[in-house]
């Protein structure tokens, strides 16, 4: 557990934060690189554990692909092992084995893959036996559970002898991640079409490419939130681009309502405090990883915002809706379901002198609650959870004059 304290007034003077690279972009680039058997120059890969796990598994190719708690690594490598005809056991943490994968397994089986469940139907662990022959190229796939199944199918599509026609069924969540996959594939020379709910990727070769991974917009969101909750100041976030492949760049627009002005400059984005315009409503369907950041910010800033599109939060590293409800309550804020799947943040009116935050093995819980330190003393349990996406997070807090004192055993 660590105790976070701000050593000065909550005011930041243009500190530059060298953000980590995007694990989403990194993990896609790595799978594409593996499918092209090298010849690419990929730089700035993420330090995130999810990406380091992907690198290690691809390099060492053990019989058991233990992805730990990395959703993209599980879903992308299941498709990769299948199409490259490798016999692999796919497994991960206890939580990973509670995160559904049936939609992807069904899609892969429908093109001829042989995959078996080793424990519970629809969930890891799995035994992948490969794809003896492609028996079909038209696949219907639900879009309302996780976009990662769709991204996984798309990335293997060009190397399938018959290519793939993916028909997305129902509501499509996290659409920006599907767009990221396709745009990244296009950078590696792939032609595709997306008309209505049908994405068509013909059989073709990935082209050797030079690709630089961008800084991580999801990781950037915590610094936006910190500035929004601070009294005054500026921050400079390095390595972010205005035209990003990442849908979490939506944080610019959200935080414009919550008192942070963003100006893109050479090498990154300058954040400056401005008056709070107010955030009335936001739909997080296509940027689910921002929901925790924004809920905590609204709870601190006194914003009664209404949130929708939170459905997928229940099957991430933890049930994030439950975790948010428990932890917001510790500073007298709420995330209240006012209608089915419609949530309202009811902000804090009284701030306790100290708040102890549980992280539920979820990196985003630790990082999203950090800005509370502008109002009170914050204790974060299991601070190492940040390693999943942002191992240097606490070091970067140090750059801002935030002190971290170890307490107790974890
Ligand atoms: O494809 C990706 O890189 C991701 C997609 C999203 O998941 P879902 O599609 O399951 O919402 C997101 O939450 C996750 O952090 C990363
Ligand atoms: C949900 C996340 O990751 P994944 O699904 O890849 O485990 C996340 O990073 O917030």
User: Residue 93 CA: which ligand is closest?
Assistant: 2
Q: Is 216 in the pocket of ligand 2 (CB under 6 A)?
A: no
Q: Compute the distance from residue 79 Cα to the ligand 1 centre, in Å.
A: 16
What's the pLDDT score for residue 409?
A: 63
The answer, as to whether pTM is greater than 0.95, is yes
Half-sphere exposure in the Cβ direction for 336 (13 Å, CA)? 12
Together in a domain, 190 and 223? no
Average pLDDT, the chain: 96
Give percent of the chain above pLDDT 90. Answer: 94
Dihedral in degrees, nearest 10, Cα atoms 403, 215, 232, 2: -20
Considering 190, 212, 234, which residue would you say is the last residue of a domain? 212
Read off the tokens for 409: 């055993």
Transcribe 34-57 into DSSP letters: HHTTS--EEES---SHHHHHHHHH
Per-residue pLDDT for 410 more than 60?
no
Span 168-172, average pLDDT: 97
Q: How far is the CA of 162 from the centre of ligand 2 (A)?
A: 31
Reply yes or no on whether the pLDDT at 242 is more than 70: yes
Question: 389 CB under 6 A from ligand 2?
Answer: yes
Q: 316 in ligand 2 pocket by Cβ < 6 Å?
A: yes
Q: What's the ipTM?
A: 0.99
Helices (H), 158-198: 175-187
Q: Does residue 408 carry a pLDDT above 90?
A: no
What is the pLDDT at residue 37? 73
Q: Which ligand is located closest to the Cα atom of residue 176?
A: 1
For 345-350, what is the mean pLDDT? 93
Distance of alpha carbon 163 from alpha carbon 134, whole angstroms: 9
Residue 7 banded pLDDT, cuts 50, 70, 90:
confident
- Average pLDDT in the 367-388 region? 97
How far does Cα 50 stand from its chain's mean position? Answer: 10
**235 and 378 housed in the same domain:** yes
Nearest to 173 by CA among 45, 285, 307, 6: 285
Answer yes or no: do 52 and 149 share one domain. yes
> Residue written as tokens 């993209």?
72
> Is residue 70 in contact with ligand 2, taking CB distance under 6 Å?
yes
* Domain membership of residue 148 as a residue range: 23-212
Mutational test site, ligand 2, from 31, 68, 289, 320, max ligand atoms within 8 Å of CB: 289
Q: What is the pLDDT of residue 311?
A: 97
Catalytic residue numbers read 289
For ligand 1, residues with CB inside 6 Å are 24, 72, 146-148, 151, 173-174, 177, 288-289, 312
Residue whose CA is closest, atom 10 of ligand 1?
146
Per the document, the length of the chain is: 410
Q: Whose CA is nearest to atom 6 of ligand 2?
A: 71
Q: Examine the fold and report which residue of 212, 228, 263 is the final residue of a domain before the chain moves on.
A: 212
247-305 tens-digit pLDDT: 999 999 999 999 999 999 999 999 999 999 999 999 999 999 999 999 999 999 999 99
Does residue 223 share a domain with residue 189? no
Q: How many domains does the chain have?
A: 2
369 φ, ψ (degrees, to nearest 5): -90, -10
Residue 14: per-residue pLDDT? 73
Least confident of 9-23, 60-74, 224-238: 9-23
Look at residue 159 in the predicted model and tell me its pLDDT: 98
Residues 34 and 14 reside in one and the same domain: no
Q: Does residue 388 sit in helix, strand or coil? A: helix
- Asked whether residue 179 falls in the same domain as residue 200, the answer is yes
Other C-beta atoms lying within 10 Å of the C-beta of residue 144 = 16
Question: Quick one: which H or E segment has residue 397?
Answer: helix 393-399
Q: Which of 89, 79, 140, 137 is nearest to 111 (CA)?
A: 137
Ligand nearest the Cα atom of residue 149 = 1
CATH code of the domain in which 205 resides: 3.65.10.10
| Pair 47, 174: CB distance under 8 Å | no
| Same domain for 179 and 265 | no
The pair of structure tokens assigned to 410 is: 């974890």
Single out the residue in 212, 233, 252 at which a domain terminates: 212
What's the whole-number mean pLDDT along residues 27-55?
95
Based on the fold, state whether residues 237 and 248 are members of the same structural domain: yes
Cβ neighbours of 42 (radius 10 Å): 17
**pLDDT above 90 for 147:** yes
pLDDT at 12 over 90: no
CA dihedral defined by 47, 51, 53, 56, rounded to 10 degrees? Answer: -90
Cα(317) to centroid of ligand 2, in Å?
7
Q: Are residues 91 and 14 both part of a single domain?
A: no
Q: Are residues 115 and 230 in the same domain?
A: no
Whether residue 320 has its Cβ less than 6 Å from ligand 2: no
Q: Is the CB of 49 under 6 A from ligand 2?
A: no
Q: What is the mean pLDDT of residues 176-180?
A: 98
> Could you tell me if 30 and 97 lie in one domain?
yes
């Amino acid at each position: 557990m660590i105790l976070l304290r701000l050593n000065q007034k909550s005011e930041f003077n243009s500190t530059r934060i060298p953000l980590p690279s995007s694990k989403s972009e990194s993990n896609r680039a790595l799978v594409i690189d593996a499918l092209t058997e090298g010849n690419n120059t990929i730089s700035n890969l993420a330090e995130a554990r999810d990406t380091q796990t992907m690198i290690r598994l691809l390099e060492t190719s053990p019989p058991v692909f233990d992805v730990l708690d990395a959703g993209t690594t599980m879903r992308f490598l299941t498709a990769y092992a299948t199409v490259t005809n490798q016999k692999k056991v796919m497994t991960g943490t206890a939580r990973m084995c509670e995160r559904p994968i049936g939609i992807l397994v069904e899609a892969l089986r429908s093109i001829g893959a042989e995959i078996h469940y080793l424990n519970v139907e629809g969930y890891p662990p799995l035994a992948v036996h490969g794809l003896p022959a492609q028996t079909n190229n038209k696949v219907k796939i639900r879009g309302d559970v996780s976009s990662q199944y769709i991204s996984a199918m798309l990335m293997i599509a060009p190397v399938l002898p018959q290519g793939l026609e993916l028909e997305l069924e129902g509501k499509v969540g996290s659409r920006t991640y599907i767009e990221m996959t396709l745009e990244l594939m296009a950078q590696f020379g792939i032609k595709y079409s997306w008309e209505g709910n049908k994405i068509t990727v013909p059989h073709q070769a990935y082209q050797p490419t030079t690709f630089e991974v961008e800084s991580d917009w999801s990781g950037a969101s915590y610094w936006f939130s910190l500035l929004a909750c601070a009294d005054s100041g500026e921050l400079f976030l390095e390595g972010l681009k205005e035209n990003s492949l990442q849908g979490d760049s939506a944080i610019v627009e959200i935080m414009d309502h919550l008192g942070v002005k963003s100006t893109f400059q050479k090498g990154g984005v300058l954040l400056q405090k401005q008056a709070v315009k107010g955030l009335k409503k936001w739909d997080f369907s296509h940027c689910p990883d921002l929901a925790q950041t924004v809920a905590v910010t609204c709870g601190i800033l006194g914003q009664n915002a209404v949130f929708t599109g939170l459905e997928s939060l229940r099957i991430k590293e933890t049930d994030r809706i439950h975790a948010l409800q428990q932890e917001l309550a510790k500073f007298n804020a709420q995330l209240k379901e006012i209608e089915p799947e419609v949530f309202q943040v009811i902000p804090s009116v009284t701030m306790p002198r100290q708040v102890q935050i549980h992280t539920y093995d979820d990196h985003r819980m630790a990082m999203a609650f950090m800005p509370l330190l502008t109002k009170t003393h914050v204790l974060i349990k299991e601070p190492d959870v940040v390693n999943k996406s942002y191992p240097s997070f606490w070091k970067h807090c140090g750059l801002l004059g935030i002190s971290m004192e170890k307490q107790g055993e974890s």
